[in-house]
Amino acid sequence: MIYENISLKKYNTFGLNVKADRLIPFKHEENVISFLRQQGGSEQSLFVIGQGSNLLFTGDFHGTLIHPEMEGITLEGRKDDVVIISSGAGVLWDKLVESTINNGFGGLENLSLIPGSVGAAPVQNIGAYGVEVRNTIERVRAVSLENGSVREFTNDECQFGYRSSIFKGELKGKYLITKVYFRLSTRPKLSLEYGSLREEVSKLGSVSLKNVREIVINTRKSKLPDPAILGNAGSFFKNPAVSESLAEELKKKDPQLPVFNNDSGEVKIPAGRLIELCGWKGRRIGDAGVHDRQALVLVNFGRATGKEIFDLSEKIKESVFEKFGIMLESEVEIL
Ligand SMILES: Cc1cc2nc3c(=O)[nH]c(=O)nc-3n(C[C@H](O)[C@H](O)[C@H](O)COP(=O)(O)OP(=O)(O)OC[C@H]3O[C@@H](n4cnc5c(N)ncnc54)[C@H](O)[C@@H]3O)c2cc1C
Protein backbone atom coordinates (compact mmCIF):
# COMPACT_ATOMS: atom_id res chain seq x y z
CA MET A 1 0.00 0.00 0.00
CA ILE A 2 1.35 3.44 -0.93
CA TYR A 3 -0.27 6.50 0.64
CA GLU A 4 0.12 9.62 -1.45
CA ASN A 5 -0.12 13.23 -0.32
CA ILE A 6 -0.80 11.93 3.17
CA SER A 7 -1.28 14.01 6.33
CA LEU A 8 1.40 13.23 8.94
CA LYS A 9 -0.69 14.44 11.88
CA LYS A 10 -0.84 10.96 13.39
CA TYR A 11 2.79 10.22 12.47
CA ASN A 12 4.37 12.94 14.62
CA THR A 13 3.89 13.58 18.35
CA PHE A 14 3.97 17.36 17.89
CA GLY A 15 0.64 16.79 16.13
CA LEU A 16 1.67 18.90 13.13
CA ASN A 17 -0.63 18.69 10.16
CA VAL A 18 2.05 18.54 7.47
CA LYS A 19 1.95 16.28 4.44
CA ALA A 20 4.28 13.80 2.79
CA ASP A 21 4.37 13.04 -0.94
CA ARG A 22 4.34 9.30 -0.17
CA LEU A 23 4.31 7.04 2.87
CA ILE A 24 4.83 3.29 2.53
CA PRO A 25 4.35 0.93 5.48
CA PHE A 26 6.25 -2.39 5.44
CA LYS A 27 5.39 -5.37 7.62
CA HIS A 28 8.13 -7.68 6.33
CA GLU A 29 11.84 -7.25 5.78
CA GLU A 30 11.77 -9.08 2.42
CA ASN A 31 9.23 -6.58 1.04
CA VAL A 32 11.45 -3.61 1.99
CA ILE A 33 14.39 -5.37 0.37
CA SER A 34 12.59 -5.91 -2.94
CA PHE A 35 11.24 -2.34 -2.89
CA LEU A 36 14.73 -0.94 -2.35
CA ARG A 37 16.26 -3.20 -5.01
CA GLN A 38 13.69 -1.97 -7.53
CA GLN A 39 14.55 1.61 -6.61
CA GLY A 40 18.25 0.84 -7.11
CA GLY A 41 19.23 3.89 -5.08
CA SER A 42 17.41 6.21 -7.52
CA GLU A 43 15.06 7.76 -4.93
CA GLN A 44 17.12 10.43 -3.16
CA SER A 45 14.61 11.55 -0.57
CA LEU A 46 13.83 8.33 1.32
CA PHE A 47 13.38 8.74 5.05
CA VAL A 48 12.45 6.17 7.70
CA ILE A 49 9.73 7.24 10.09
CA GLY A 50 8.76 5.33 13.22
CA GLN A 51 6.24 6.94 15.56
CA GLY A 52 7.57 10.45 14.85
CA SER A 53 8.24 11.07 18.55
CA ASN A 54 11.66 12.59 17.95
CA LEU A 55 10.94 14.61 14.82
CA LEU A 56 9.98 18.20 14.04
CA PHE A 57 8.60 18.80 10.56
CA THR A 58 9.08 22.45 9.62
CA GLY A 59 7.02 21.97 6.46
CA ASP A 60 5.66 19.32 4.09
CA PHE A 61 7.96 16.39 3.35
CA HIS A 62 8.79 16.07 -0.33
CA GLY A 63 9.85 12.49 -0.79
CA THR A 64 9.01 8.98 0.39
CA LEU A 65 8.63 8.01 4.01
CA ILE A 66 9.17 4.36 4.83
CA HIS A 67 7.30 3.23 7.92
CA PRO A 68 8.53 -0.07 9.44
CA GLU A 69 5.71 -2.20 10.87
CA MET A 70 7.66 -5.41 11.51
CA GLU A 71 6.05 -7.16 14.47
CA GLY A 72 7.08 -10.02 16.74
CA ILE A 73 8.93 -10.45 20.01
CA THR A 74 10.88 -13.74 20.12
CA LEU A 75 12.92 -15.57 22.72
CA GLU A 76 15.99 -16.44 20.65
CA GLY A 77 18.09 -18.17 23.27
CA ARG A 78 18.72 -18.72 26.93
CA LYS A 79 21.82 -19.74 28.85
CA ASP A 80 21.99 -19.64 32.64
CA ASP A 81 20.49 -16.28 33.58
CA VAL A 82 21.06 -14.61 30.19
CA VAL A 83 18.26 -14.40 27.62
CA ILE A 84 18.41 -13.11 24.06
CA ILE A 85 15.19 -11.52 22.84
CA SER A 86 14.55 -10.16 19.37
CA SER A 87 11.93 -7.60 18.45
CA GLY A 88 10.62 -6.36 15.12
CA ALA A 89 11.31 -2.68 14.43
CA GLY A 90 7.61 -1.80 14.33
CA VAL A 91 6.83 -3.01 17.85
CA LEU A 92 6.02 -0.10 20.15
CA TRP A 93 8.94 0.37 22.53
CA ASP A 94 6.89 0.23 25.69
CA LYS A 95 5.09 -2.95 24.54
CA LEU A 96 8.49 -4.61 24.37
CA VAL A 97 9.47 -3.32 27.82
CA GLU A 98 6.17 -4.51 29.29
CA SER A 99 6.48 -7.94 27.70
CA THR A 100 10.06 -8.49 28.91
CA ILE A 101 9.13 -7.50 32.46
CA ASN A 102 6.06 -9.77 32.44
CA ASN A 103 8.43 -12.61 31.56
CA GLY A 104 10.81 -11.70 34.38
CA PHE A 105 13.59 -10.50 32.06
CA GLY A 106 15.41 -7.44 33.38
CA GLY A 107 17.39 -4.70 31.66
CA LEU A 108 14.79 -2.42 30.09
CA GLU A 109 12.71 -1.49 33.16
CA ASN A 110 14.18 2.02 33.59
CA LEU A 111 13.29 2.75 29.97
CA SER A 112 9.56 2.20 30.57
CA LEU A 113 7.06 4.45 28.80
CA ILE A 114 9.51 6.06 26.36
CA PRO A 115 7.40 6.68 23.25
CA GLY A 116 8.39 5.38 19.83
CA SER A 117 9.22 2.16 18.08
CA VAL A 118 11.85 -0.51 18.78
CA GLY A 119 13.56 0.22 15.45
CA ALA A 120 14.28 3.80 16.50
CA ALA A 121 15.66 2.92 19.94
CA PRO A 122 19.26 2.26 18.79
CA VAL A 123 19.27 5.35 16.53
CA GLN A 124 19.63 7.83 19.36
CA ASN A 125 20.54 5.25 22.01
CA ILE A 126 17.46 6.07 24.07
CA GLY A 127 18.06 6.61 27.74
CA ALA A 128 16.31 7.50 30.97
CA TYR A 129 16.72 7.11 34.74
CA GLY A 130 20.42 6.36 34.52
CA VAL A 131 20.16 3.64 31.86
CA GLU A 132 20.82 3.66 28.11
CA VAL A 133 19.55 1.06 25.67
CA ARG A 134 23.12 0.35 24.55
CA ASN A 135 23.62 -1.57 27.82
CA THR A 136 21.25 -4.27 26.56
CA ILE A 137 21.57 -4.27 22.76
CA GLU A 138 23.22 -7.44 21.48
CA ARG A 139 22.99 -6.60 17.78
CA VAL A 140 20.93 -4.66 15.25
CA ARG A 141 19.69 -6.00 11.92
CA ALA A 142 19.27 -3.44 9.15
CA VAL A 143 18.72 -3.07 5.42
CA SER A 144 20.71 -0.63 3.29
CA LEU A 145 18.45 2.05 1.81
CA GLU A 146 20.88 2.31 -1.10
CA ASN A 147 20.75 -1.27 -2.37
CA GLY A 148 18.61 -3.43 -0.08
CA SER A 149 21.52 -5.48 1.29
CA VAL A 150 21.19 -6.78 4.86
CA ARG A 151 23.79 -6.10 7.53
CA GLU A 152 23.95 -6.98 11.20
CA PHE A 153 25.72 -4.52 13.49
CA THR A 154 27.29 -5.73 16.73
CA ASN A 155 26.92 -3.51 19.78
CA ASP A 156 30.43 -2.11 19.19
CA GLU A 157 29.71 -1.42 15.54
CA CYS A 158 26.70 0.68 16.54
CA GLN A 159 29.15 3.20 18.06
CA PHE A 160 26.75 4.21 20.80
CA GLY A 161 27.23 7.49 22.65
CA TYR A 162 25.03 9.90 24.57
CA ARG A 163 21.86 10.13 22.41
CA SER A 164 23.86 9.03 19.42
CA SER A 165 24.96 6.04 17.36
CA ILE A 166 26.36 5.28 13.95
CA PHE A 167 22.77 5.54 12.65
CA LYS A 168 22.63 9.20 13.70
CA GLY A 169 26.25 9.81 12.65
CA GLU A 170 28.31 8.29 9.84
CA LEU A 171 25.46 6.10 8.51
CA LYS A 172 22.68 8.60 9.05
CA GLY A 173 19.81 7.99 6.64
CA LYS A 174 21.56 4.98 5.11
CA TYR A 175 19.90 2.04 6.89
CA LEU A 176 16.48 0.87 7.88
CA ILE A 177 16.57 -1.15 11.09
CA THR A 178 14.28 -4.17 10.84
CA LYS A 179 15.06 -6.07 14.05
CA VAL A 180 16.87 -5.49 17.33
CA TYR A 181 18.36 -8.22 19.55
CA PHE A 182 18.58 -7.60 23.30
CA ARG A 183 20.63 -9.37 25.96
CA LEU A 184 18.54 -9.42 29.13
CA SER A 185 18.80 -11.23 32.42
CA THR A 186 16.58 -13.35 34.63
CA ARG A 187 18.68 -12.18 37.59
CA PRO A 188 19.19 -8.52 36.70
CA LYS A 189 21.25 -6.07 38.66
CA LEU A 190 18.77 -3.22 39.03
CA SER A 191 19.92 0.31 38.37
CA LEU A 192 18.38 2.47 41.11
CA GLU A 193 20.96 5.18 41.62
CA TYR A 194 19.14 7.88 39.65
CA GLY A 195 17.51 10.58 41.83
CA SER A 196 15.19 9.11 44.43
CA LEU A 197 14.41 5.97 42.41
CA ARG A 198 15.65 3.51 45.06
CA GLU A 199 13.69 5.23 47.82
CA GLU A 200 10.48 5.40 45.75
CA VAL A 201 10.73 1.76 44.73
CA SER A 202 11.33 0.61 48.32
CA LYS A 203 8.14 2.40 49.35
CA LEU A 204 6.25 -0.12 47.19
CA GLY A 205 7.58 -2.98 49.33
CA SER A 206 9.90 -5.14 47.28
CA VAL A 207 12.58 -4.06 44.82
CA SER A 208 11.30 -5.86 41.72
CA LEU A 209 11.22 -5.25 37.96
CA LYS A 210 7.49 -4.52 38.11
CA ASN A 211 7.92 -2.00 40.92
CA VAL A 212 10.75 -0.20 39.11
CA ARG A 213 8.53 0.00 36.04
CA GLU A 214 5.63 1.33 38.09
CA ILE A 215 7.72 4.10 39.68
CA VAL A 216 9.31 5.09 36.38
CA ILE A 217 5.88 5.28 34.73
CA ASN A 218 4.37 7.32 37.57
CA THR A 219 7.31 9.72 37.62
CA ARG A 220 7.26 10.19 33.87
CA LYS A 221 3.51 10.81 33.87
CA SER A 222 3.86 13.42 36.61
CA LYS A 223 6.67 15.30 34.85
CA LEU A 224 6.18 15.00 31.11
CA PRO A 225 3.23 16.12 29.01
CA ASP A 226 1.32 13.35 27.23
CA PRO A 227 1.67 13.94 23.45
CA ALA A 228 -1.90 12.70 22.96
CA ILE A 229 -3.03 15.77 24.92
CA LEU A 230 -0.26 18.31 24.33
CA GLY A 231 1.96 17.91 21.27
CA ASN A 232 5.66 17.50 22.09
CA ALA A 233 8.71 15.36 21.34
CA GLY A 234 10.14 14.96 24.86
CA SER A 235 13.45 16.69 25.55
CA PHE A 236 14.05 19.11 22.72
CA PHE A 237 17.75 19.66 23.50
CA LYS A 238 20.59 17.44 24.64
CA ASN A 239 22.21 18.11 28.00
CA PRO A 240 25.49 19.87 27.15
CA ALA A 241 28.85 18.55 28.34
CA VAL A 242 31.19 21.36 29.45
CA SER A 243 34.67 21.62 30.95
CA GLU A 244 35.08 21.43 34.73
CA SER A 245 36.17 25.08 34.86
CA LEU A 246 33.04 26.30 33.04
CA ALA A 247 30.90 24.12 35.32
CA GLU A 248 32.55 25.79 38.34
CA GLU A 249 31.74 29.25 36.94
CA LEU A 250 28.13 28.26 36.31
CA LYS A 251 27.85 26.90 39.83
CA LYS A 252 28.89 30.32 41.16
CA LYS A 253 26.00 31.93 39.25
CA ASP A 254 23.56 29.20 40.33
CA PRO A 255 24.63 27.17 43.38
CA GLN A 256 21.58 24.91 42.91
CA LEU A 257 22.72 23.85 39.42
CA PRO A 258 22.91 20.04 39.33
CA VAL A 259 26.05 18.82 37.53
CA PHE A 260 27.10 15.26 36.65
CA ASN A 261 30.68 14.20 35.93
CA ASN A 262 31.05 11.91 32.94
CA ASP A 263 33.81 9.42 32.11
CA SER A 264 35.68 11.73 29.74
CA GLY A 265 36.45 14.38 32.36
CA GLU A 266 33.62 16.65 31.21
CA VAL A 267 30.63 17.75 33.21
CA LYS A 268 27.02 17.29 32.08
CA ILE A 269 24.72 20.24 32.78
CA PRO A 270 20.92 19.91 32.62
CA ALA A 271 19.85 22.00 29.62
CA GLY A 272 16.39 22.42 31.19
CA ARG A 273 17.88 24.34 34.11
CA LEU A 274 19.82 26.68 31.79
CA ILE A 275 16.63 27.36 29.81
CA GLU A 276 14.75 27.99 33.03
CA LEU A 277 17.43 30.44 34.23
CA CYS A 278 16.95 32.37 30.99
CA GLY A 279 13.31 32.83 31.96
CA TRP A 280 11.76 30.56 29.32
CA LYS A 281 9.95 28.08 31.52
CA GLY A 282 6.18 28.26 30.91
CA ARG A 283 6.57 30.97 28.23
CA ARG A 284 4.59 30.87 25.05
CA ILE A 285 4.83 32.55 21.65
CA GLY A 286 1.52 32.02 19.87
CA ASP A 287 0.80 28.31 20.15
CA ALA A 288 4.45 27.28 20.52
CA GLY A 289 5.63 27.14 24.10
CA VAL A 290 7.99 25.88 26.77
CA HIS A 291 6.40 23.41 29.16
CA ASP A 292 5.68 24.83 32.61
CA ARG A 293 6.95 21.75 34.53
CA GLN A 294 9.94 20.84 32.35
CA ALA A 295 11.69 23.62 30.43
CA LEU A 296 13.48 21.10 28.22
CA VAL A 297 10.20 20.20 26.53
CA LEU A 298 8.77 22.42 23.80
CA VAL A 299 5.05 22.05 23.21
CA ASN A 300 2.41 22.70 20.59
CA PHE A 301 -0.65 24.20 22.25
CA GLY A 302 -2.70 23.28 19.22
CA ARG A 303 -2.11 25.36 16.13
CA ALA A 304 1.60 26.04 16.13
CA THR A 305 3.43 25.27 12.91
CA GLY A 306 6.70 23.34 12.91
CA LYS A 307 8.43 26.52 11.79
CA GLU A 308 7.09 28.40 14.83
CA ILE A 309 8.35 25.67 17.18
CA PHE A 310 11.70 25.70 15.41
CA ASP A 311 11.91 29.53 15.69
CA LEU A 312 11.17 29.28 19.41
CA SER A 313 13.95 26.69 19.79
CA GLU A 314 16.38 29.04 18.03
CA LYS A 315 15.45 31.93 20.35
CA ILE A 316 16.07 29.68 23.35
CA LYS A 317 19.45 28.63 21.97
CA GLU A 318 20.41 32.27 21.43
CA SER A 319 19.54 33.34 24.95
CA VAL A 320 21.29 30.36 26.57
CA PHE A 321 24.37 31.15 24.49
CA GLU A 322 24.26 34.84 25.44
CA LYS A 323 23.90 34.13 29.17
CA PHE A 324 26.14 31.07 29.57
CA GLY A 325 28.26 30.83 26.41
CA ILE A 326 26.88 27.33 25.80
CA MET A 327 25.38 26.40 22.43
CA LEU A 328 22.59 23.89 22.94
CA GLU A 329 22.21 21.08 20.44
CA SER A 330 18.80 19.72 19.42
CA GLU A 331 18.01 16.16 20.40
CA VAL A 332 14.90 16.28 18.21
CA GLU A 333 15.59 15.81 14.49
CA ILE A 334 14.49 18.79 12.43
CA LEU A 335 13.16 18.13 8.94
C1 LIG B 1 6.87 12.55 25.77
C2 LIG B 1 8.18 12.05 25.21
C3 LIG B 1 9.16 11.59 26.08
C4 LIG B 1 10.38 11.12 25.58
N5 LIG B 1 11.31 10.66 26.47
C6 LIG B 1 12.49 10.17 26.02
C7 LIG B 1 13.46 9.66 26.93
O8 LIG B 1 13.24 9.61 28.14
N9 LIG B 1 14.64 9.22 26.44
C10 LIG B 1 14.91 9.24 25.09
O11 LIG B 1 16.00 8.81 24.71
N12 LIG B 1 14.00 9.71 24.20
C13 LIG B 1 12.80 10.17 24.63
N14 LIG B 1 11.88 10.66 23.73
C15 LIG B 1 12.22 10.69 22.29
C16 LIG B 1 11.67 9.48 21.49
O17 LIG B 1 10.71 8.79 22.23
C18 LIG B 1 12.79 8.50 21.10
O19 LIG B 1 13.79 9.16 20.38
C20 LIG B 1 12.25 7.34 20.24
O21 LIG B 1 13.24 6.35 20.12
C22 LIG B 1 11.81 7.78 18.84
O23 LIG B 1 11.11 6.69 18.27
P24 LIG B 1 10.20 6.88 16.99
O25 LIG B 1 9.74 5.54 16.52
O26 LIG B 1 9.12 7.85 17.28
O27 LIG B 1 11.24 7.49 15.94
P28 LIG B 1 11.03 8.71 14.95
O29 LIG B 1 10.81 9.96 15.74
O30 LIG B 1 10.02 8.39 13.93
O31 LIG B 1 12.46 8.77 14.26
C32 LIG B 1 13.60 9.22 14.99
C33 LIG B 1 14.84 8.92 14.16
O34 LIG B 1 15.03 7.51 14.05
C35 LIG B 1 15.00 7.10 12.68
N36 LIG B 1 14.32 5.81 12.64
C37 LIG B 1 13.10 5.52 13.17
N38 LIG B 1 12.84 4.21 12.98
C39 LIG B 1 13.90 3.69 12.31
C40 LIG B 1 14.22 2.39 11.81
N41 LIG B 1 13.41 1.34 11.97
N42 LIG B 1 15.40 2.23 11.14
C43 LIG B 1 16.25 3.27 10.97
N44 LIG B 1 16.00 4.52 11.42
C45 LIG B 1 14.84 4.72 12.09
C46 LIG B 1 14.30 8.21 11.95
O47 LIG B 1 14.70 8.24 10.58
C48 LIG B 1 14.78 9.42 12.72
O49 LIG B 1 16.08 9.74 12.31
C50 LIG B 1 10.63 11.14 24.19
C51 LIG B 1 9.63 11.59 23.32
C52 LIG B 1 8.42 12.04 23.82
C53 LIG B 1 7.36 12.49 22.86
Local confidence band at 248 (pLDDT 50, 70, 90 cut-offs): confident
Which of the four CATH numbers 3.40.50.2300, 3.90.78.10, 1.10.10.10, 3.40.718.10 does domain 231-334 have?
A: 3.90.78.10
Q: Given a cut of 80, is residue 64 above it in pLDDT?
A: yes
Ligand 1 pocket, residue 133 CB under 6 Å: no
Q: Given a cut of 90, is residue 105 above it in pLDDT?
A: yes
Ligand 1 centroid to residue 119 C-alpha, Å: 9
In this prediction, residue 81 carries a pLDDT of 95
Q: Name the average pLDDT for the chain.
A: 94
73-222 folds as 3.30.465
For ligand 1, atom 23, name the residue with the nearest CA.
116
331 catalytic? Reply is yes
Local confidence band at 268 (pLDDT 50, 70, 90 cut-offs): confident
3-68 folds as 3.30.43
Q: Structural domain boundaries of the chain? A: 3-68, 73-222, 231-334
User: Identity (one letter) of the amino acid at 199?
Assistant: E
209-216 contacts at long range (C-beta below 8 A, 24 or more positions apart): 209/101, 209/104, 209/106, 209/109, 210/101, 212/109, 212/110, 212/112, 213/97, 213/98, 213/101, 213/109, 213/112, 216/109, 216/110, 216/111, 216/112, 216/113, 216/128, 216/129
Q: Given a cut of 70, is residue 42 above it in pLDDT?
A: no
Local confidence band at 117 (pLDDT 50, 70, 90 cut-offs): very high
Enter the pTM of the model: 0.93
Ligand 1 pocket, residue 232 CB under 6 Å: yes
* Mean pLDDT in residue range 280-301: 96
In this prediction, residue 65 carries a pLDDT of 97
In this prediction, residue 257 carries a pLDDT of 78
Nearest ligand 1 atom to alpha carbon 11: 30
